[in-house]
Amino acid sequence: MIAEYRKMWEARNWMKRNEPFLPTWQAYVGYRLDLFEKLAGGATIESLVQEYGYEENLLRSWADAGVVLGHLKKEGDRLIPSKKMLKFFSQKSDDTVGELLKELFEMHMPALMNYPSMIESNQKGTFNGDDFSKTVAATSALIEKRAFGHVLAEMSAQKPHWVLDIGCGTGGYLMKLAKKMNQGTFVGVDISKDCVEEAREKAMEKQLDDKVKFYYADINTWDVPNGLFDVVMMNNLLHYYSPDARGDLFTRVAELVSKRGTVIVITPLYLEKGGQRFSAAFNSFMEAHDNLHPLPQKEALVQDAASAGLKLKSVKTVVREGSWYCMSFSKK
Ligand SMILES: C[S@@+](CC[C@H](N)C(=O)[O-])C[C@H]1O[C@@H](n2cnc3c(N)ncnc32)[C@H](O)[C@@H]1O
């Protein structure tokens, strides 16, 4: 009898543990179909069904969950989204964080749910960066906002003439720096053609193309003079390299950076205090793909850098609970 009761209690606890997931799901669906925006425009469930051919019962149950959660308010036939949901989950809002939920539901969850079959079949998936380049760029930009102060502080101390960003993505760090610094040439290199094209377009739009240059190349083979750069950045790049290849990457970086130069590395660190849960989940995602690699551990990263002649100067927290850090190194 007691065993039965304990079993029921355990089941109840696991049910309750999953309940906090409901708001994330409701927000994700609302963002993906831009339902908060559509409802704010005066639509009703009936009008959305008519206009977009949506399945009515699914839409109603999504809306009911929204009302229960306070994401939506019922006024007659109309459902009014809260100001917060409109601000953060309308596709056109400048403040939207919807891509973060898209990353969670469409990249991370499917990978985690495939674990049983991947473990059994000894086969990992392959991450298709092109499908999710916009999503990854949007979520990286959130980290960029938090990390930029640390990067700017390093640059202001160094007063560099030449700055290199390896794996620059769409060039966010470099363009922000070019605006803030009154000297220097800012160079980005990325292996993704789409990213480089978008970065170049943005630089033209912002009239920064004389100070910021982007190159489509693989850093391992890119032909550029050694010792040219006063600052070299590698932001969120290390998980594209296997742990065995990271030593060579640091050696390449140490060649590129000038004598008294600085190397900046922004990265999530595996199982760092405060961010253990997040980094364990993020690392599980990396491990699920044959073309991504485990997150670096701090000691191994510092060791790889030291073997290449780079000495750790500082470690600054970017997002503690996310295990994200900004590390800087100087040439020994
Ligand atoms: C996660 S994104 C980070 C973008 C940006 N640094 C940021 O932190 O927002 C990593 C980038 O590294 C690029 N990358 C990966 N391997 C590379 C290589 N060998 N050479 C140049 N870029 C590379 C990828 O194409 C991708 O755009």
| Whether the predicted pLDDT of 136 surpasses 90 | no
Q: How far apart are CA 217 and CA 197, in angstroms?
A: 12
pLDDT at 130: 77
Q: Establish whether residue 267 lines the binding site of ligand 1, counting it when its CB lies within 6 angstroms of any ligand atom.
A: no
Q: What is the pLDDT of residues 58-81, one digit of tens each?
A: 999 999 999 999 999 999 999 999
Q: Establish whether residue 283 lines the binding site of ligand 1, counting it when its CB lies within 6 angstroms of any ligand atom.
A: no
| Whether the predicted pLDDT of 138 surpasses 90 | no
> For residues 39 and 79, is the Cβ–Cβ distance under 8 A?
yes
Q: Establish whether residue 296 lines the binding site of ligand 1, counting it when its CB lies within 6 angstroms of any ligand atom.
A: no
pLDDT band at 129 (very low <50, low <70, confident <90, very high): confident
Q: Where are the beta strands (DSSP E) in the chain?
A: 72-75, 78-81, 162-166, 185-190, 212-216, 229-235, 257-268, 310-319, 324-331
Report the candidate in 58, 28, 54 with the shortest Cα–Cα distance to residue 43: 54
Distance 188 CA to ligand 1 centre (A): 10
If one compares 293 and 133, the residue with the highest pLDDT of the two is 293
Q: Establish whether residue 198 lines the binding site of ligand 1, counting it when its CB lies within 6 angstroms of any ligand atom.
A: no
Whether 133-331 and 2-96 are alike in CATH topology: the answer is: no
Instruction: Kindly report the protein residue whose alpha carbon is nearest to atom 9 of ligand 1.
Output: 140
Q: What is the pLDDT of residues 262-317, one digit of tens each?
A: 999 999 999 999 999 999 999 999 999 999 999 999 999 999 999 999 999 999 99
Distance 76 CA to ligand 1 centre (A): 50
pLDDT at 152: 97
**Exposed / middle / buried, residue 226 (Cβ in 10 Å: 0-12, 13-18, 19+):** exposed
pLDDT band at 135 (very low <50, low <70, confident <90, very high): confident
Q: How far apart are CA 190 and CA 167, in angstroms?
A: 5
Distance 137 CA to ligand 1 centre (A): 10
Q: What is the DSSP letter of 20?
A: G
Q: Establish whether residue 240 lines the binding site of ligand 1, counting it when its CB lies within 6 angstroms of any ligand atom.
A: yes
Distance of CA 9 to the CA centre of its chain: 38
Q: Establish whether residue 189 lines the binding site of ligand 1, counting it when its CB lies within 6 angstroms of any ligand atom.
A: yes
CATH class of the domain whose range is 133-331: alpha beta
> For residues 265 and 150, is the Cβ–Cβ distance under 8 A?
no
Query: What's the start-to-end Cα distance of the chain, in Å?
Result: 68
Atom of ligand 1 minimally distant from the CA of 129 = 25
Instruction: Kindly report the protein residue whose alpha carbon is nearest to atom 27 of ligand 1.
Output: 169
Dihedral angle of Cα 80, 84, 89, 92, to the nearest 10 degrees: 90
Give, for ligand 1, the residue of 214, 240, 246 to mutate: max count of ligand atoms closer than 8 Å to Cβ.
Answer: 240
Atom of ligand 1 minimally distant from the CA of 218 = 20
Report the candidate in 290, 214, 220, 223 with the shortest Cα–Cα distance to residue 250: 220
Which amino acid, one-letter code, is at 147?
Answer: A
Q: Establish whether residue 90 lines the binding site of ligand 1, counting it when its CB lies within 6 angstroms of any ligand atom.
A: no
CATH class of the domain whose range is 2-96: mainly alpha
Atom of ligand 1 minimally distant from the CA of 141 = 9
Give, for ligand 1, the residue of 177, 191, 263, 282 to mutate: max count of ligand atoms closer than 8 Å to Cβ.
Answer: 191
Q: How far apart are CA 197 and CA 200, in angstroms?
A: 5
Residue with tokens 């130069």: 261
pLDDT at 128: 87
Report the candidate in 252, 220, 218, 234 with the shortest Cα–Cα distance to residue 296: 234
Chain-wide mean pLDDT for the chain?
96
| String of DSSP letters for 229-265 | EEEEEEES-GGGS-HHHHHHHHHHHHHHEEEEEEEEE
Domain ranges of the chain: 2-96, 133-331
Q: Establish whether residue 154 lines the binding site of ligand 1, counting it when its CB lies within 6 angstroms of any ligand atom.
A: no
The token pair at 243 is 């742990």
pLDDT band at 112 (very low <50, low <70, confident <90, very high): very high
Biggest alpha carbon–alpha carbon distance for the chain: 77
| Residue 182 main-chain phi, psi, to 5 deg | -95, 10
- Please give the angle made by the CA atoms of 43, 46 and 51, to the nearest 5 degrees: 70
